[in-house]
Amino acid sequence: MAEFGVSRRFVLRAGAVAVAAAMLAACEKKPSFNSTDVSGSDLGTDLSLTDFNGQPRTLQDFKGKVLVVFFGFVQCPDVCPTALAEFVQVKNSLGKDGDRLQVAFVTVDPERDTPEILRAYVTQFDPSFLGLRGDADATARVAKSFKVFYAKVPGKEPGSYTMDHTAGVYIYDPEGHLRLFARHNAGADALTSDIRQLL
């Protein structure tokens, strides 16, 4: 009987340990993101720019929300409006959690994108979306922090030009850590899923 009691206690303890280990593994399970996980990278540490209301902004200002940063320019014919429209869908799909999403559009064309023009452009997609800008030096500094490429490309008419630029989206968690990089046209459903996990 004594041996049976010891064996039973051993089995019960082993079972309890197995259950605890399974629960711990479930807690430590990493999220499965659609976007590229860039957690811990040195990208995007500098976002010191001014919004279209003349307010200086840094990453600290957006803590508590999922921050989406996208680089582009107002006269962009396709990539920029597509990306902004996609995040309108994402915000709507999040329902009440959409209030915890902040989209920040950083212009790589401060020469033409004045605060007024930037405000009119960005807020036509959603009133909560922000436009950020700086002078040429500030724009270059912030773009370097994100490893974003941009360059002026002369147009057909004298004095006209367009801008080539990196077409990707940087996504921060509510603690202010850069977590994800999403390629252009990732899709609203995939982005919504990723952002839900970060929230």
Q: Three-state SS for 43?
A: coil
The reply to whether 76 sits in an annotated binding site is yes
The reply to whether 27 sits in an annotated binding site is no
Q: What is the DSSP letter of 187?
A: -
Q: Which stretches of 48-175 are assigned E, i.e. beta strand? A: 49-51, 56-57, 66-72, 101-107, 130-133, 150-154, 161-165, 168-172
Does residue 103 contact residue 191 with C-beta atoms inside 8 Å?
no
Between CA 4 and CA 6 the distance in angstroms is 5
Between CA 31 and CA 111 the distance in angstroms is 41
Q: Take residue 190 and report the two structure tokens written for it.
A: 């995939």
Cα 90 to Cα 17, 98, 109, 124, 174: the distances in Å are 42, 8, 26, 16, 17
The reply to whether 80 sits in an annotated binding site is yes
CA 63 to chain centre: 13
Edge-to-edge strands, sheet with 130-133: 36-37, 178-183, 168-172, 66-72, 101-107, 130-133, 49-51, 56-57
Known binding residues for Cu cation: 76, 80, 165
Known binding residues: 76, 80, 165
